[in-house]
Amino acid sequence: MLNDKELNELAKVAIFETKKELNIDQKTDLQEGYVAQPKVYQQVTDSLSERLKVSHKALYEAYVTQLSEVSAKIDACVKNGTNPNYSEFRSLKQSEAYLLNAVYLHELFFSNCFNPNSELYQDTLAYMRIQQDWGTFDKWMEEFQACASASRAGWAIFGWSTYLKKYINIAVDNHVGNIPVGFIPVLAVDVWEHAYMADYGLDKDSYVVAMMREIDWDVIEERIQKIDKIAEALK
């Protein structure tokens, strides 16, 4: 496995090559760009067809590539004279936010679902935190599924609000709509049409139920343990 220094050097090479392909001047830009690297996920599930899994993986990898290209362009973009009505810099920063969320949310989704054998126990932090903020696990599940139904081609996400200091569910439109400031995601379920229509048609509810049956609660537990530390640090 590569160490941090070696990974950093590889990233620098990737940035250089990306800028070269985009004909960006390597000498005059600020050298602040970054290169996102696609990760490998095993979507171990019988709830989705192999064809849908492959196409979803390809979509995710395309987002990763596009994010790197936008990063390189931002690095070389002229910042002077930026205005709120139209500028290349503004457009690129909007694309960056969209693509960052697209990549991050897919990585959360691919790693927190697709475990048909996962179980949730009442003595886990995940169960206790959910029960603490919703009263019962069933009430949380009902609200989370409602968020999935309410999302207009986007995401249902369970996470922690640094402002409210509690866990909440949110319905996200696209990759950027309706995400509260200071929200840390814990569980993400993709409810874009591309995530289910090939297998479920218009029956989004059945797809969401299938995904929730395969939540990897060990992954959720690790994320909540980290949030407990963040919550303690923010006191």
219: tokens are 């992954």
Binned average pLDDT, 10 residues per bin, the chain of 235 residues: 46 52 50 77 93 97 95 87 86 96 98 95 97 97 98 97 97 96 98 98 97 97 97 93
Looking at residue 217, its pLDDT comes to 97
The DSSP line for the chain is: ---HHHHHHHHHHHHHHHHHHTT--TTTS----------------SSS-HHHHHHHHHHHHHHHHHHHHHHHHHHHS--TT--SS--HHHHHHHHHHHHHHHHHHHHHHHHHS--TT----TTSHHHHHHHHHHSSHHHHHHHHHHHHHH-SSEEEEEEEETTTTEEEEEEEETTTBTPPTTEEEEEEEE-SGGGTHHHHTT-HHHHHHHHHHT--HHHHHHHHHHHHHHHHHT-
Looking at residue 11, its pLDDT comes to 47
Report the first-to-last Cα separation within the chain, whole angstroms: 37
Looking at residue 79, its pLDDT comes to 83
Looking at residue 34, its pLDDT comes to 76
Looking at residue 23, its pLDDT comes to 56
Looking at residue 2, its pLDDT comes to 43
CA quadruple 198, 200, 205, 210: dihedral sign: negative
Spell out the domains of the chain, with CATH numbers in brackets: 4-112 (no CATH), 125-233 (3.55.40.20)
pTM as predicted: 0.85
Looking at residue 17, its pLDDT comes to 56
Looking at residue 109, its pLDDT comes to 98
Q: If you search the block for the tokens 């979803």, which residue do you land on?
A: 56
Looking at residue 1, its pLDDT comes to 42
